[in-house]
Structure 1
Amino acid sequence: MKRKLIRWALIALIFVAALGGAGMLAKMKPPPEKKENTDVDLLVQVMPLGTETVNFTVRSQGNVRPRTETVLSAEVSGAIVEISPKFIPGGVFAKNEVLMRIDPTNYRVAVDQAEAVLAQRQIEYDGALKLRKQGYRAEAELASAAAALETAKAELVRARRNLELTAIRLPYEGMVRSKDADLGQYVTAGSRLGVAFATDFAEVRLPLTDRDLAFVDLPSAGQIEKSGAASGPEVTLSAVQRGKKQQWTGKIVRSEGVVDENTRVTYAVVRIEDPYRRHVEGGDSTALPVGTFVSASIAGNSAENVIRVPRSVIRGNGQIVVVNDESRLEIRDVDILRSDAMHAYLSGGVAAGERIAVTAIENPINGMRVRTGDEEQVSADEESADETKDDATEETVAQGDE
């Protein structure tokens, strides 16, 4: 019995000693270190703003078309007896060159007959006039002879004109677009013979929106000269030909003067001289064919004190994110004067000397603090200076110990 009590006493003593040791070990364990808040402000790239004078360029596009295009039709009847070798699609011809000839035989005969009738009427009139002076003819007979004479003259004019119309000509130098009649074919007055257009000038209709018109000075109707053109802004046209980008220059010569009811645009007309380069001696002789689709850059007006920013920094609702002197965000509404594919041009809402955030911020908040590249550079410089100072201090202490 005594041994059993001693055994239980030893077990209890060991248990108490173990608890005491565990408690002492727990007290000896160092307390956990408190971690400081390591949240870092968002790093953004900023761009300082400045004002400048901007020469705006208005962009548009359109198709090249001839200034003058003619549907050739026969004005007299007959068989086609002659066709110029140039009267084929793509053929070029000179002003008043004969392109086609209708059989003139009957029309030459008509001229001869009209001349004979005129000679006869002239004799009759002269005789009636002589008799009238002698008192043998009445005034009415003389008037009748005079009328017959005038009719004969008119018939001769018409016969000669019909003879001229057997030769198909155009009053300009140009190019044949299509050929609709051929040698030996019989045509009547009004029959379609082909289509041709002038090559002295070509035109491009450029659609301009109301916003575009604020930056382009179009010629007014009063400025248009007798030639049907006025001197307006210069235009650079460009298109890809044979795998290479080609350019041509022209001028806006007029506005069509109406707003399209469907698209709400106004068309400005650009004129290009000698598009087929028929009169170019040396230099660039790249032709600008009719039907070419071209892009147009119009020299527009200029504006002063404009702030140019990347278009990507403009938020969808016309806002911009400014980083103030305290490195905090300010979301501002801006006045966008104009924008293109790369830039937006601002006339208000920000000022020269301010900074804007170029880095895209997903959910910017007014007053949100950020870091900029400039601040990172300053911090790095200060840290470098502190390290240099510490190194110098350690070196001084070491020398003192020696």
Structure 2
Amino acid sequence: MAEAIEIVVVGGGVIGTSIAFHLARLGVTNVTLIERGAIAGGASGQSGALVRSHYPDSPEAQVAWAAVPWFEEWAERVGGDCGFRQTGFLQLVHKVDKDLLEKNVARLQAIGVETQLVTAADARRLQPGLAIEDDEYAAYEQRSGYADPVATAQGFAAAAQRLGADIRTGESVRNLIADGTQVTGVVTSSGSLHAGVVILANGSWSAALARTVGVEIPIELVRGQAAIVSRPPTLPGVNGHLAIIDRRSGIYARPSGEHATLVGLSRGSTGTPLTSAEGVTPDRDFPETARAHLARTLPGFSDSTVQSAQAGPLDMTPDRCCVLGKPDGVSGLALAVGMSGSGFKKSPAIGACMAELIVNGKAETAPIDAFRLERFSTGSEIQKFEYLVGDSTDRGSFIH
């Protein structure tokens, strides 16, 4: 006989574990999370894990900003330590994008984000050793920084368990079960589970699973990658420098431990879709390329060395924004997928919003209607502007 579960969450990354935690926090006592490998064993564990709210569209910024207090008050709200370091965050752009930056800062401030436009002199004071010309500007977020992606996901999972959730690892979901247009459960490698609601939060594997009940999610898989490089002794410690996105050099970076830095590229995929989410490895030339670009932002890294590199699959949607909510035409199914390489920082708020949607019928932590799946079929994709990236005329999407 199939086991009966109130809510099944598929995926043990930072999104799925956050959802399981928030459901349990809201009093749902029969929650089961199913993860094919280990908690944070997929893309979440390879995340750059920046915490910031500077987005080129209001819907993403609102969700990201709603997540900040969860990182700040992790011990009190979740328990344990997610590795959050409030270094502050600096967004740098090309000179030609100064007006665009100024308008975006004003828009973000209008929706409540604590950010400010800073001069080159301010930026040099905030980040010693920064390469910036006198007529350039940046945006600064004092409350932002970075965290540990594995500790964050594991922390959510442990807290969910303490509140009564069942966390199952090493068990894969093979397909969804439906009775007409009603999803009624899942088939796993261990058997069948009946469920009142199934929530897909399994990233790169979600589209194939949703397709088993006729739901099409437009997801393309690309390689996301980052390098760990040695840090100059002038920038020591876990708070050794700010979390940085520099569109001039095309990098994002944040400290990694006491003496190293994690660096990725804003266009950090191969540009060619992956055919599989399995066994993704870094491009051979990527680590040194990323290090060299970082040295354009912080010249002190000119003599640094590459220590390691990491890669994972990113589930990208056409507008590079996530899919959240209940799809039309199917009951008993909810989606929290298509994070497009930018889900980590939003994860506490996404989990809260999804739990509120299921339990209370409406997300309250942040507005999420803009992220509905149906936007792709109704011409309602999320509109955003982009800054120039690197030396090209490309205004490509953020991948961090």
Larger radius of gyration: 1
Higher relative strand content: 1
TM-score by length of structure 2 reads 0.19
TM-score by length of structure 1 reads 0.19
